[in-house]
Amino acid sequence: MAFRTLTGPVSAYLVLLYLGPKEQGYYYTIGSLAALQVIFESGMGQNILQLVAHRYRGSLAVENGLFVIAPEEAGRLSAVMQFGAKFYSVVTLLFVLLVGGGGFWFFSATSTVTWQPAWIMLIIGTALSLFLVPFGSLIEGMQSVKELMRARWVGSLTMFAVTSGGLIAGAGVTAGGFGALAGPVVTTIVLWRSWRKVFLSTLRAEPAGGLKWRTEVWPFQAKMLLNAFCAFFYWSYAIPVVFKICGPAAAGQFAISWNIVRSASSISTSWTYTRLGKLGQLVAQGDRDGAFHLWRSSFIRGTAIACAGLTAYLLLIGTLQIFFPYFGNRFGSMTLQVTLAATTLVQTALLMMAHFMHAHKTDGFVVATIVSTLAIIGLQLVFAKTWGAEGAALALFLPSLAVLIAAPWLMKRALGAYWKAEGSPQVA
């Protein structure tokens, strides 16, 4: 998240400098459609991570610069990894056929910009990222998070450098495709160099026990699939809607603003993430007061950080529109900026509230999330036709605000005995 906070504004600046308004719309819309991968992935990676973590016994070692595990360890993990490899092979193929083919239909009716090379490279790069998911989950489940994050960081840096270089060199929209392909390729190379023996041994070993689908896989998977479905419609759905209804230039304004306001608030999200481990420990120890006060302190500080970042963003855009109108107008109206900033602030607050419930292994926002997602899907189509990009932003804000208003009651209801217990803290 911190990396995105730093690179997001730089990427936006290069887009403004080297792409025209319509190219800007294609650049961001192509990326938003590729985000459909979250629905195909369906959160199975998290499921595989938990299955690996429950079976792993800590036999990881290093030989000649390569990670290795004992044969009996490979047998315990084999059933999980064989399933993961098969599942993601099928998912990757479906993604290429359905999303890849659908993209050619989506953009063909308005093909005023050369988008085909970027789309093809992005689909290939995204497909490779999808196929890598179970292997990343294996590494993370084996408590080697630092090694995984290092590989992903190298891939993200490569993607940023290649995309930036392509924009500066005049590659246009295709620059995004170069970066989208280069990042996953480099990540794959980094992981393969150090982890290939672990990958191959877990795939080839004879499974020592199978998977209990009814109790181990499907209950958790249903929730993850729901989260993946909602995530796409919360974060990416609006951009192709605006593209199709209002045109590439309006989609470019919406997308660049939406990406930057999310980057501006991501520092506050990172702040709360660093406290999740301690929060979970306090809950496990039965220290309800300590858990509540830690969360409340994190919530207040995180909200203050988000407000500061979003306020700075709005001041910057206002200044650009006054003194540098060519660049300022590429972001759209101030109404659009304020609405997106308010939406981001509301969703940041909801995420921090969800963290508190997750620490208690519950989630009171499930039904509200489903209802608000369905509302967003319908309102986007109506509001975008009526008020353009500003309407699409409003369609994101209103359902999110409704959930926030109901959030204190939903939290109390989900936590149940926690809130009712004598002496437990109460919502301020």
Predicted TM-score of the model (pTM): 0.88
Digit-coded pLDDT (tens) for 221-263: 777 778 788 888 988 999 999 999 999 999 999 999 999 998 8
Contacts of 97 (CB under 8 A, 6+ apart): none
The reported pLDDT for the residue numbered 345 is 94
DSSP string, 242-272: HHHHH-HHHHHHHHHHHHHHHHHHHHHHHHH
Residue in 92, 84, 107 with CA at minimum distance from that of residue 32: 107
pLDDT tens for each residue of 71-115: 988 998 998 999 999 999 999 999 999 999 999 999 987 667 899
Indicate the burial class of 362 (C-beta count within 10 angstroms; 0-12, 13-18, 19 or more).
Answer: middle
**Phi, psi (5° rounding) for residue 427?**
-65, 130
In the chain, what are the domain boundaries? 36-221, 236-420
* Per-residue model confidence (pLDDT) at position 170: 96
How many angstroms from the chain centroid is the CA of residue 96?
20
Task: Provide the 8-state DSSP code for 330.
Answer: G
Q: At what angle do helices 71-95 and 174-204 cross, to 10 degrees?
A: 150
Point out the residues of the chain with pLDDT beneath 50.
421-428
Task: Give the C-alpha separation, 348 to 75, whole Å.
Answer: 42
Alpha carbons 157 and 335: distance in angstroms, whole number: 33
Judged by phi (left if over 0) then psi (alpha if -120 to 50, else beta), residue 423 lies in: left
The predicted structure's pLDDT at residue 424 = 46
Question: Measured between alpha carbons, how far is 22 from 251 in angstroms, rounded to an integer?
Answer: 9
Rounded Cα distance between 254 and 331, Å, is 7
For residue 171, report the phi and psi dihedrals to the nearest 5 degrees.
Answer: -75, -10
Cα angle 405-357-144, degrees, rounded to a multiple of 5 = 135
d(CA 332, CA 390): 9
Instruction: Say if residue 206 is exposed, middle or buried (CB neighbours under 10 Å; 0-12, 13-18, 19+).
Output: exposed
Q: How far apart are the first and last CA of the chain?
A: 30
Closest CA to 132 of 55, 72, 196: 196
68 bridge partner residues: 61
Q: What is the pLDDT of residue 144?
A: 86
Q: Between helices 238-246 and 21-34, what is the axis angle to 10°?
A: 140
Phi, psi (rounded to 5 degrees) for 19: -120, 150
Contact 408, 425 (CB under 8 A): no
212 three-class SS:
coil
Measured distance CA(76)–CA(392) in Å, rounded? 49
* Residue carrying the six token digits 């101030």: 334
